[in-house]
Structure 1
Amino acid sequence: MDYTPLTFLPKLEDSIKQILNTPITDERKEVLSPLIHYIREKQDKNEAINLNFICTHNSRRSQFSQIWAKVASSYHGIKTNCFSGGIEITAFNERAVASLQRIGFRIISDNATDNPKYEVFYSDTAQSIKAFSKLVEDQSNPTSNFAAIMTCDHADENCPIISGAEIRIPVRFEDPKKFDDTELEQKMYDERSLQIASEMFYVFSRAND
């Protein structure tokens, strides 16, 4: 069956055009190579692709990564199940949520006080992404046959075993948290989100080669 590309939300579509033209350094390509290999291997074996993006609090980088990986895989027509988790529960940081809204996602919250649950829409014809802070072993995450993708150095260094993971892949990103409550806050959250987006689009484009 031929793949029919999704129609993305209009503002997000404009952001994707920018993302597709963002260069990836050779250093980052090397970092991303094991993830590309994993996805290709799963496709070759006709096995499910399950990616769990992990950082300490599951509040910023792992959420960005889960969401952008889902968008990028959908764009390239590679069926992928994308998850995220942490080693502590906090909340999907409101600054990260705001950044995704600026870039073009439509986001709905249940307005819970401590750890809101969000629906993140990237297309009018695709199922929304459910996003909230959770532990790696949360019941919504896979328990086996998944890649654990470590998006922060703290989680990578302090969580030596990810139960059920068939491979562990470090893909670390700088934390935009250091810019909270500064005049650079919005700029750096958007910059980190778009960096993660460009790298996820690169990964799935190469997986399709």
Structure 2
Amino acid sequence: MIYTDIKKVIDVLKIEIISEERKTVLQPLIDFIQLKKNNHKDIRLNFICTHNSRRSHLSQVWAQTMASYFNLKNVFCYSGGTEATALFPMVAETLINYGFNIKTISEGKNPIYAIKYSENEHPVIGFSKTYDDTFNPKSEFAAILTCSQADAGCPFIAGAEKRIPVTFEDPKAFDNTPQQTEKYNERSIQIATELFYVFSQIKS
């Protein structure tokens, strides 16, 4: 059961604001998930950005949450970067504001977080890592490029069955400004809305 506060957020997402152009961008991800489901295979999604600090984590967490919301089994969401840095604290704060339960497992330069969206589901383990880190799958996954730099900088991703660019604007541009909270919320809701649309299209 997804936490009530998160469900309230999901229940008011407006997929009608997604443009036809953007739906075309999202279609290959829908097709990948549908094909795996039809073939009764595990669905592995690795969301990749340059630093694995913001957009890729928001995408990973919301994708795992949406899979649970739509009761789609055997979905395993990961994230990675072309380099490892740290999960930016504002990302955790944004998710907490939407009702996610976040526990810090380890401190340090690259903290590790357990991000729970449901009482009974396994938490998403959030920390910055490269996309080919041992924590991530080695084969049979879709590589979803969430930033244009990663898309340009990763011409080849070993083990990826499919490479799908679904890029988002970086809220980092608003760090340490009065609009920081607003812009992180805006990006989080955009990602949640688009992933809601993706999973809503999967036929049983």
> After TM superposition, is the score higher than 0.5?
yes
Identity of aligned residues (%): 46
1:51 offset after TM fit, Å? 0.5
- Could you list the runs of 5+ residues in structure 2 that have no partner in the other structure? none
1:194 to 181, 189, 192: 189
Name the structure 2 match of 1:142. 137
Indicate whether 1:153 and 2:148 are aligned. Answer: yes
Q: Is the 8 A contact 1:22 1:198 kept in 2?
A: no
Shift, 1:192, TM fit:
0.3
Aligned positions, number: 203
1:185 corresponding residue in structure 2: 180
Counterpart position of 2:116:
121
Q: CA RMSD in A?
A: 1.2
Distance 1:51 1:10 in 2: 25
After the TM superposition, which residues 47-86 of structure 1 pair with which residues of structure 2 at under 5 Å, given as runs? 47-79=41-73, 80-86=75-81
> Of residues 107, 112, 118 in structure 2, which corresponds to 1:112?
107
* Residues 178-200 of structure 1: CA deviation (Å, up to 9, x unaligned): 00011110000011001100111
Q: Is the 8 A contact 2:15 2:194 kept in 1?
A: no
Q: Could you list the per-position Cα deviations for residues 112-161 of structure 1 after superposition, in whole angstroms to 9, with x for gaps in the alignment?
A: 12000000011112111111000111111000010000000001001111
Q: Which residue is 2:82 aligned to?
A: 87
The TM-score, its normalising length taken from structure 1, stands at: 0.94
Deviation per CA, 1:29-75, whole angstroms, max 9, x where unpaired?
11100000111111111111110000000000000000000000111
Letter of the aligned partner of 1:44 in structure 2?
N
Which moves more between the two structures, 13-22 or 131-140? 13-22
Shift of 1:111: 4.5
Detail structure 1 runs of 4+ shifted over 6 Å in the superposition: none
Distance 2:33 2:15 in 1: 22
Shift of 1:208: 2.6
The two structures have a TM-score, normalised by structure 2, of 0.96
- Answer yes or no: is 1:17 the counterpart of 2:11: yes
